[in-house]
Amino acid sequence: METPMTHFPRRALLGLLAAGSMVKPFTVWAVDYPSRAVRIIVPYSAGGSSDVVARFAAELLRPRMDGQPVVVENRPSANAVTGMQHVARAEPDGYTLLLGGASTNAVNPHLYRRKPYDGIADYTVLGLVGTGPLVVSVHPGLPIHSLQELIAYARANPGKLAFGSSVGVTLHLAGELLKTLAGIDMLHVPYNSNTQALTDVVAGRLQVMFDPVSNSASFIADGRLRPIVVPAPRRAAALPEVPTSAEAGLPAFEVLTWFGLFGPAGMPAEIVTTLNRRLNAGLMEQASVDQLARLGLNPAPTDPAGAAAYLKADSEKWAGVIRRIGLVVD
């Protein structure tokens, strides 16, 4: 790690601490970091998208951690609250990290009547890993071929269009955001999983689907879904013919799935800088770009301040949507 403290003799530093110096204990962490295994906590079960991205991040960091292991640990239950609280309460020494994202840090904290954690204040933002576009699709039996046609149809047929997802996830809130921005009435149908909702749109039992491009691409390719818009700053590489929301006339309708690396609040700046630089170095390699593309994500190398600003803006956006629809979880 390239800081002046790197070359400070550890024995002398420990002597200062023992003598009652004002040097804080975390300086030792910064000098020696990393000196043992680093854990990346995933607040969901193995096999899901967060788990897959966490294992990608671990593989990316592992050769850059001075020979120390980087392991992934799943701590599911309670809609991610268990894992999130575990990291928030950990020592801020850089050895307990979190694979967080839109749902865990920007959405979930606003859903609960009794806030279980603060998605911003309880964590140190280390950097973004990747962002991924959603696609809004309809059943091909509908006379809808564009976002403006969807809006017109919904206005002419209030409550007749239905979309489905798990309650409170980004896909649910994307639909609510569109309803608010376009002034339309669509019905949200709750599902235990987003996959079940996608199956029902393909079968024609629902009409509209908000979904990551990577999930819907195969159904779009064989004509079982008709894509109408990608609510993202740029077109999706997998769907180059589908316009963005800005191109479709509704620029405020922007929704991205994203994943980031976090630690507990109060991490030393030296460790934050070290992890951010090593994460970004890995993300800029072509192999990482290709691997993320297979997951439907774009690499998002960002400094900690930029990543924190991104999180803050996303959190504020979803807090407003959640307030407007009165969505509360006990």
pLDDT in tens, 282-318: 999 999 999 999 999 999 999 999 999 999 999 999 9
The DSSP-derived string for 147-209 is HHHHHHHHHHSTT--EEEESTTSHHHHHHHHHHHHHT---EEEE-S-HHHHHHHHHHTSSSEE
Amino acid in the structure at residue 113? R
What is the distance between the alpha carbons of residues 148 and 140, in angstroms, rounded to a whole number? Answer: 16
Rounded to 5 degrees, φ, ψ at 235 are: -65, 150
Q: What average pLDDT score do residues 142-155 get?
A: 98
pLDDT band at 328 (very low <50, low <70, confident <90, very high): confident
Is the peptide bond prior to 34 cis by the omega test (within 30 degrees of 0)? yes
By the 10 Å C-beta count (0-12 exposed, 13-18 middle, 19+ buried), 187 is classed as: middle
Q: Where are the domains of the chain?
A: 4-132+257-325, 133-229
Say whether pLDDT at 130 is over 70: yes
Give 57-72 pLDDT, tens digit per residue: 999 999 999 999 999 9
Q: 4-132+257-325: which CATH number, 3.40.50.9100, 3.40.190.150, 3.40.50.300, 3.90.550.10? A: 3.40.190.150
Q: What percent of the chain has pLDDT over 70?
A: 91
**pTM for this one?**
0.85
Does the fold of domain 133-229 match that of domain 4-132+257-325?
yes
pLDDT on residue 6: 37
What is the distance between the alpha carbons of residues 51 and 275, in angstroms, rounded to a whole number? Answer: 19
- Comparing CA positions, the residue from 22, 30, 76 lying closest to residue 269 is 30
Query: Does the domain made of 133-229 have the CATH classification 1.10.20.140?
Result: no
What is the distance between the alpha carbons of residues 290 and 298, in angstroms, rounded to a whole number? Answer: 9
**Residues paired with 74 in a beta bridge:** 42
